[in-house]
Amino acid sequence: MFISLQRILKYGWQDFWRNRSVSASSIFVMVMMLSLITSLLLSQQAFKFLVLRLQEQVDISVYFREDSFEEDILEIKKELALIPEVKEVEYISKEKALENFIQLHQNDSRIMDSLTEVGGNPLLASLNIIAFEAAQYAQISGFLEKSSFAESIDKIDYHQRKPVIDRVFSISSEINTGGILFSFILALVAVSLIFNQVGLSIEHAKKEIEVMRLVGASDWFIRGPFLVQGVLIGFFATVLTLLIFLPLCFFLSAKIEILLPGLDIFGYFVNNFFTIFFIHLAFGIGLGMVSSWIAVRKYLA
Amino acid sequence: MISFYNITKIYPPHTVAVKDVSFQVQEKEFVSIAGRSGAGKTTLLKLLLAQEQSTRGQIFFDGQDISQIKKKDLPWLRKRLGTVFQDYKLLASKTVYENMVYVMEIISQTKRHILKDVPQVLEIVGLTERANNFPAQLSGGELQRAAIGRALIHRPDIILADEPTGNLDPYHTRDVIQLLLKINQMGTTVILATHNKEIINRLGKRVITLEEGKVIRDEDPGRFIL
């Protein structure tokens, strides 16, 4: 058993090395496929980042009556922070609201004149609430309306902003679904390419397989070396792909960060290097072996 | 050892290659199968090697019906046979030495045996100098001798030789036939398919003559009469 395995490994390596041009073209196709997987992994990161940024733009505001005390509002903030659906709560005092308003409209003389005419600070203190998911805003709004401090609330702007919130989350969800679908189609194309390439390289050995059978080789003794070649192709393609992507990510990272500030592709690549390496190795070796198995099976039937 | 019972082989749609052939081959026998090209000699060897399945009839090898052999039992049968194919069927990606080693490794021979036997057989077939050449680098005669060497390297029970002298000059033809006789004298059954009249007549061994797929003569000793 051990001797047979040793001989299968020897023939696998021998055939891989002797048919260097065929092996090289299989590795090339596999590198293309693994590059696609790497690109998908990285673009998935970019998508996630984009969706997160989009979702961070959505919140609801709870405005409190003029006569509400700051201590009471801060108490309500504490209570809200304990709700599992609430991701973040921010208190905006009357003064801060005015400051924000002035900063936003300082160049609009008509609004600034109106503010002076009204006199004092007409704005209300508020709490900005960010939930984890779009559906949770309705629950949070319902909770506020029925809570013990409902009387202190002047208005909740959830109903006015509901269409915007729903739209943003629907876009996020579409981006996610689209990404998955796109990845799936590309992966399918890549898999069929590699199957075709390995199939072609084994077709090259069709006559040899026939001779091996005629001199009494068992199916395993014939199939084994092709599986070993599949493993070698997967391994070398993985190493090559990572050697290509490591410097590529390094050089592109800065440019991507200009487009999407805060997204560090190179950092992601380095921090997840071993995960990416093993995903590639599993894909490369797995696909190499499965496609070899299927292609040889045709000639062993 | 080998029994053919009413073997018929029809290639679709209606080409009859072998028709109602029956004969037996005893252990250590040397049998020549004679006939013109297309008489069915190669088909008979293919049936014995289970490379083809008969349309009708049965073939027994050591009591086992190989006309109905299962795929998983093919290696068992083929390891007991050593075949010299008309078109050599050497592994193109392996050297002459490696072609012989491959067969030894299939039957799980130890490295010690391989290192001892392969050079000996290379010497016997006169290919020591060409051991590290690939089949594409050999002449017709050398290919033929490499195929013979591979067929006998694992000391099979039976040697099937399909036109083993087809590409050889008279000098090498005589050598190959002497080699087959020597293998037979050492106890290996030899079945030789040829249309070479001179070889058959000089052998003075049993001859089964085929014509249009039928056995028309089975004599021991026999001559090439057509």
* DSSP character string of A53-116: HHHHT--EEEEEPTT--HHHHHHHHHHHHTSTTEEEEEEE-HHHHHHHHHHHHTT-HHHHHHHH
Q: How confident is the model at residue A159 (pLDDT cuts 50, 70, 90)?
A: low
Q: Are residues B186 and B196 in the same domain?
A: yes
Q: Are residues B163 and B141 in the same domain?
A: no
Cα–Cα distance between A119 and A101 in angstroms, integer? 14
Q: Domain boundary residue among A123, A143, A167?
A: A167
Give the mean pLDDT of B147-158: 93
CB atoms within 10 A of CB A213: 20
Please report the pLDDT score of residue A232 as a whole number: 94
Residues B168-183 have pLDDT tens digits of: 788 888 888 988 998 8
Q: Domain boundary residue among B109, B140, B155?
A: B155
Q: Are residues B49 and B99 in the same domain?
A: no
| B chain contacts of residue A213, beta-carbon cutoff 8 Å | 74, 78
Domain span at B62: 1-80+157-226
Please report the pLDDT score of residue A221 as a whole number: 93
Of B78, B93, B108, the CB nearest to A215: B78
Is A208 touching B (CB cutoff 8 A)? yes
Instruction: Enter the ipTM.
Output: 0.90
Domain tally, chain A: 2
Of B83, B90, B93, the CB nearest to A18: B93
Domain tally, chain B: 2
Is B108 touching A (CB cutoff 8 A)? yes
Q: Is residue B86 a part of any domain in this protein?
A: no
Cα–Cα distance between A301 and A293 in angstroms, integer? 12
Residues A13-44 have pLDDT tens digits of: 999 999 898 899 989 988 988 888 888 788 87
Residue B1 pLDDT exceeds 90: no
Q: Are residues A73 and A107 in the same domain?
A: yes
Q: Are residues A215 and A200 in the same domain?
A: yes
| B chain contacts of residue A207, beta-carbon cutoff 8 Å | 92
- How far does the CA of residue A219 sit from the closest CA of chain B (Å)? 8
Is B225 touching A (CB cutoff 8 A)? no
Q: Domain boundary residue among A113, A142, A167?
A: A167
Cα–Cα distance between B67 and A31 in angstroms, integer? 47
CATH code of residue B22: 3.40.50.300
Greater confidence (B167 vs B63) lies with: B63
Contacts 24+ apart (CB under 8 A), B3-6: B3/B58, B3/B59, B3/B60, B4/B44, B4/B47, B4/B57, B4/B59, B5/B57, B5/B58, B5/B59, B5/B60, B6/B56, B6/B57, B6/B58
Beta bridge partner(s), residue A157: none
- How far does the CA of residue A285 sit from the closest CA of chain B (Å)? 24
Of B78, B89, B90, the CB nearest to A216: B78
| A chain contacts of residue B107, beta-carbon cutoff 8 Å | 216
Secondary structure class of B158 (helix, strand, coil): strand
Domain span at A240: 2-54+170-300
Cα–Cα distance between B146 and B161 in angstroms, integer? 13
Residue B219 pLDDT exceeds 70: yes
Q: Are residues A139 and A273 in the same domain?
A: no
Secondary structure class of A277 (helix, strand, coil): helix
Q: Are residues A289 and A148 in the same domain?
A: no
Q: Are residues A47 and A190 in the same domain?
A: yes
Give the mean pLDDT of A263-284: 89
Residue A238 pLDDT exceeds 70: yes
Unique residue bearing structure tokens 């017709």: B140
Beta bridge partner(s), residue B30: B190
CATH code of residue A145: 3.30.70.3040
Q: Are residues A37 and A97 in the same domain?
A: no
Q: Domain boundary residue among A167, A184, A204?
A: A167
Mean residue pLDDT of chain A comes to 85
Note whether B78 contacts A214, CB cutoff 8 Å.
yes
Q: Are residues B110 and B176 in the same domain?
A: no
| A chain contacts of residue B89, beta-carbon cutoff 8 Å | 210-211, 214
Please report the pLDDT score of residue A152 as a whole number: 83
Please report the pLDDT score of residue A161 as a whole number: 66
Of B83, B92, B93, the CB nearest to A214: B83
Is B146 touching A (CB cutoff 8 A)? no
Q: Are residues B56 and B162 in the same domain?
A: yes
Of A18, A210, A215, the CB nearest to B106: A215
Structure letter (DSSP) for residue A291? H
- How far does the CA of residue A217 sit from the closest CA of chain B (Å)? 6
- Mutation site for A-interface testing, chosen from B91, B132, B158, B159 by largest number of A Cβ within 10 Å: B91
Note whether B93 contacts A208, CB cutoff 8 Å.
yes
Q: Are residues B2 and B62 in the same domain?
A: yes
Q: How confident is the model at residue A233 (pLDDT cuts 50, 70, 90)?
A: very high
Q: Are residues B177 and B198 in the same domain?
A: yes
Q: Domain boundary residue among B155, B185, B205?
A: B155
Concatenated DSSP letters of B36-53: -TTSSHHHHHHHHTTSS-
Note whether B93 contacts A19, CB cutoff 8 Å.
yes
Q: Are residues A37 and A143 in the same domain?
A: no
Q: Are residues A185 and A292 in the same domain?
A: yes
Q: Are residues B128 and B72 in the same domain?
A: no
Q: Are residues A90 and A222 in the same domain?
A: no
Note whether B85 contacts A214, CB cutoff 8 Å.
yes
- Mutation site for A-interface testing, chosen from B69, B77, B89 by largest number of A Cβ within 10 Å: B89
Note whether A211 contacts B89, CB cutoff 8 Å.
yes
Cα–Cα distance between B109 and B103 in angstroms, integer? 9
Q: Is residue B179 a part of any domain in this protein?
A: yes
Q: Are residues B3 and B71 in the same domain?
A: yes
Q: Are residues B67 and B172 in the same domain?
A: yes
Q: Domain boundary residue among B119, B134, B155?
A: B155
Structure letter (DSSP) for residue B214? E
Q: Are residues A271 and A163 in the same domain?
A: no
Q: Are residues B147 and B202 in the same domain?
A: no
Q: Are residues B222 and B205 in the same domain?
A: yes
Residues A54-88 have pLDDT tens digits of: 767 677 888 988 888 888 888 888 888 888 888 88
Secondary structure class of B5 (helix, strand, coil): strand
Note whether A221 contacts B106, CB cutoff 8 Å.
yes
Q: Are residues A176 and A282 in the same domain?
A: yes
